[in-house]
Structure 1
Amino acid sequence: MNRRILIVCRNNICRSPAAEAVLRRRLERHGLDRRIEVDSAGTHAYHLGEGVETRTARAALTRGYCLAAHRARRIAWQDFEYFDLILAIDRGVLEELQRMAALSNRPDARVELLTHHATQHRDDDVPDPYLSLGASFDAVFDMLEDAAAGLLTALAAGRPVDTPPAGEPA
């Protein structure tokens, strides 16, 4: 079964492109990259067409992720129809996506928090390193790698992705 996953933050220049790269790498390593399409977008249009924020790109490279080809885009109404799963990077983005989904042609669109899939980190929100003066880039990548690993486990096992990992509260 082919799946389509969209990861969304505010401006699509920091957290969501980083999460996209992390998930893509995991999918490639497990041979699922041809079955699962991944993209990212932002809820705002402040940086349309721009590349990834410089500090994010630098932090990504230290972990072996190249974000040079990324260009920021805003989520579109069609995304609610096209993607099987839309993952919000934090609760504020989740609330905005839920409002948008309710007004779209797909009010039943699957929208949830990316961090729902993390097994080691318990925070709902991936902090925005763009606003933290770079102090949390490593923590952000740690959270994204954890959430991507949990999501990959669910996808590989064929478990519905909205089901928490074993032992986690529903």
Structure 2
Amino acid sequence: MIILHHTGGGSADATWRYFDRPTIESARKTIADAGDLNVSSQSLVDRDGTIFRLMPETSMARHCVGLNHVAIGVENVGDLDAHLLTDAQVEADAALVRDLKARFPAITHLIGHHEYLAMEGHPYFVERDPKYRTRKADPGPAFMAKVRARVADLGLEGPPVR
């Protein structure tokens, strides 16, 4: 599966520097309590649509509780307030989703980070600690609707409807 995110900040460079640390900052207590490995993602999409490959898609990144082992993470520089996600990012994400689906035909789902809890109970979702969950708003329903509209022909599933 592919999970789209936003970084919560306005700089690709700052995101890269954050991901480049081996351990999570202690201020992110919920995540740090589950292990000190830093968060990461396979790809980063800058505000102008530039796509950076941060690590191989075949390597596991820590970006989504319960789904890391089956998910490719795509971070978008921005947030839902000060650094709104851009149309260039929508187009870049759609192109990246198409590329990933072509290279990895087994991909069945495309979700936003804010939708991950709906995957609980699905065979893809594996988290041993029943208390380890986070609430996320990224990248938001509007952004996901725009990307999904551009890749609808791929037939990717979203989260289960509950």
Band of TM-score, shorter chain: 0.3 to 0.5
Structure with the larger RCO, 1 or 2 (CA within 8 Å, 6+ apart): 2
What TM-score results when the alignment is normalised by the length of structure 1? 0.32
What TM-score results when the alignment is normalised by the length of structure 2? 0.33
